[in-house]
Structure 1
Amino acid sequence: MFEDTLELAENKLLLLYIFDKIKFPVSNNQITEIILENNFINYFTLQQYLTELLSSKFLRYTSESGSHRFLITEKGVKVLSLFKNRISDSKIQIVDDYLNKEIDSIKKEVTVTADYTIEQNNNFIVNLKALENDSILIDIKINVASNKQAKNLCEKWKSNSSELYGKIMHMLIED
């Protein structure tokens, strides 16, 4: 029983450590990917821990363009600073290595968004957005005729947003 309690505490602290280390809001999918890729916690236990960390106000939700993202609170940072030594060094090393390798990819997912909604008469509104340091660089809404076109635009934006942004800016600014 005592070992289970220690493991629960270490896992919740590990989650707080990850959120603190990332330093920007992340989605449930992103934190799930980090945890599952490193085999720290199973999916269902992770979701339970996230709910508990939210209810105890160690994490909070932030809504950016309609999507919920997790962010560590001051209370969470304080608890982490008091009990960080309870996280095994090997897990900290794994997290640090993973984040050093993947942080740009995680940031890109946060700062570049592409989604779509269905409107009347089977029209789709595609919303393409890019942020830099919480400032909107570009926010475009485009009406397209099919679900396929909407998905295609979203995929292109996510995979090539900086080049597309540059081309759009060049076309708009060019004399």
Structure 2
Amino acid sequence: MLDSTYSLYKLIILYMLKKVSFPLTSTQISDLIISQKYTSYFHLQEVLHEMETSNLLTTYSKNHMTYYKITDAGLQTIEYFKNEISPEIRKEISGYLDLHSYQMRSEASTFAEYYKDGDSDYIVSCVAREGNQTLIELKLTVPTKSAAETLAENWKRKSQETYEAIMKILM
């Protein structure tokens, strides 16, 4: 039996990370946990920090986002304690992931970042990946920070369309 609700939150997060084949952002984890009203954002942050400290998950940052990935210790933990998560909660998690997995995978595989190049221009690096393979990577030079921000934001929404158009032009 679980000794606290925090343990249940940890198991929910581990279960979620085990069910997907890609790392999840803190926002993606928060969306599920908070939309189902399992706990508050602040409790969730405490639990995530504790899970990282106890090596149940690892984190890395990219493009101003924190990504979470389950560790071997996390996999062992969820295998051992998965029956402590009620069938109703498992069903809610599976339903949420079924409904949002395409969007979540897309968010994890499409990103853009920008940086200042010298004194005046900005370089915008746009990448779309599928699994471990890079589908397309573009580096564009723009004159202003505002243009770089716009380009980076638009890439997130239009990367698939852009990739298809480039392929059509080049093929």
3-state SS of paired residue (1:121): coil
TM-score by length of 1: 0.88
TM-score by length of 2: 0.89
3-state SS of paired residue (1:39): coil
The answer to whether 1:125 aligns with 2:86 is no
Structure 2 CA distance for aligned equivalents of residues 66 and 94 of structure 1: 29
Q: How many residues align?
A: 171
Task: State the partner residue of 2:7.
Answer: 9
Matches within 5 A, 1:19-168: 19-62=17-60, 68-168=66-166
Is this contact kept in 1: 2:30–2:41, CA < 8 A? yes
Is this contact kept in 2: 1:60–1:71, CA < 8 A? yes
* Structure in which a larger fraction of residues adopt helix: 1
CA drift at 1:65: 6.8
Q: Which amino acid aligns with 2:48?
A: L
Fraction of identical pairs, as percent: 29
Structure 2 CA distance for aligned equivalents of residues 152 and 66 of structure 1: 16
More moved, 141-150 vs 118-127 = 118-127
CA drift at 1:37: 2.0
CA drift at 1:168: 1.9
Is this contact kept in 2: 1:25–1:62, CA < 8 A? no
Structure 1 CA distance for aligned equivalents of residues 150 and 65 of structure 2: 20
Consecutive unaligned residues in structure 1, runs of 5 or more = none
Structure 1 CA distance for aligned equivalents of residues 75 and 49 of structure 2: 17
Structure 1 CA distance for aligned equivalents of residues 105 and 55 of structure 2: 24
Give a deviation string over 1:108-160, Cα, whole Å, max 9, x none: 00111112223433422211000111111111111111222112212221112
Consecutive unaligned residues in structure 2, runs of 5 or more = none
